[in-house]
């Protein structure tokens, strides 16, 4: 059963890589579990959980987009904690966010949230930071560039 889940998660990852920038991959529990697993991230990765209604989320997204441009090895994954719909790509496009885009699928939002982060209670923005060496840090609220850099092991810009 675990092998089947891993195969399904791999298929979701591959399909995400082939989507255009405006497409959102539906997030199910298998994909959420894969995204939240530090072993899935061989390089520094930011997973930004956000909502189109969240003003503070947009601040984080802008910071993350700037950091991703400055650090080509940095991977940015966004997860809209709502179903994909018209206009959902707008905030990401305005902030200059590139990378894999997921949106909640038809499964229970609580189950998806738990698969992403069992300690998360739904507050937004929520950011999962993976250093690419097995480390993981979860932060809620607006984050500072210094905190993100420290958690990811990135050197400061010159």
Query: Tens digits of per-residue pLDDT, 29-73?
Result: 999 999 999 999 999 999 999 999 999 999 999 999 999 999 999
Nearest to 83 by CA among 61, 101, 65: 101
pLDDT for 93-123, tens place per residue? 999 999 999 999 999 999 999 999 999 999 9
For residue 156, the model assigns a pLDDT of: 64
Q: What are phi and psi of 13, to 5 degrees?
A: -60, -45
For residue 86, the model assigns a pLDDT of: 92
- 14 torsion bin: left (phi>0), alpha (psi -120 to 50), beta (else): alpha
Domain 2-152 sits in CATH at 3.40.30.10
Give just the sign of the alpha carbon dihedral 108, 113, 119, 123.
negative
Contacts 24+ apart (CB under 8 A), 5-9: 5/30, 5/33, 6/34, 9/33, 9/34
pTM (predicted TM-score): 0.86
For residue 16, the model assigns a pLDDT of: 45
Q: How far, in Å, CA of 9 to CA of 32, rounded?
A: 8
Asked if pLDDT for residue 17 goes beyond 80, the answer is no
What are the residue boundaries of the structural domains of the chain, listed by start?
2-152
With H, G, I as helix, E, B as strand and everything else as coil, classify residue 45: strand
Asked if pLDDT for residue 21 goes beyond 70, the answer is no
Residue 39 carries which DSSP code?
G
Other beta carbons within 10 angstroms of residue 140's beta carbon come to 17
Q: Band the pLDDT of 22: cuts 50, 70, 90.
A: low
């Amino acid at each position: 059963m675990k092998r089947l889940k891993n195969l399904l998660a791999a298929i979701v990852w591959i399909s995400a890589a082939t989507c255009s920038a405006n497409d959102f991959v539906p997030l199910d529990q298998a994909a959420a579990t894969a995204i939240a697993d530090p072993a899935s991230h061989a390089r520094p990765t930011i997973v930004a959980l956000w909502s189109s209604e969240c003003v503070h989320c947009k601040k984080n997204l802008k910071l993350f987009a700037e950091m991703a441009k400055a650090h080509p090895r940095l991977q940015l994954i966004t997860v809209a904690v709502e179903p994909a719909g018209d206009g959902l790509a707008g905030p990401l496009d305005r902030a200059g966010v590139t990378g894999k885009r997921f949106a909640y699928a038809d499964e229970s939002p609580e189950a998806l949230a738990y698969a992403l982060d069992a300690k998360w209670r739904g507050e937004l923005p929520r950011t999962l930071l993976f250093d690419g060496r097995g480390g993981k840090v979860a932060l809620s609220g607006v984050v500072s560039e210094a905190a993100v850099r420290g958690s990811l092991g990135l050197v400061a810009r010159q």
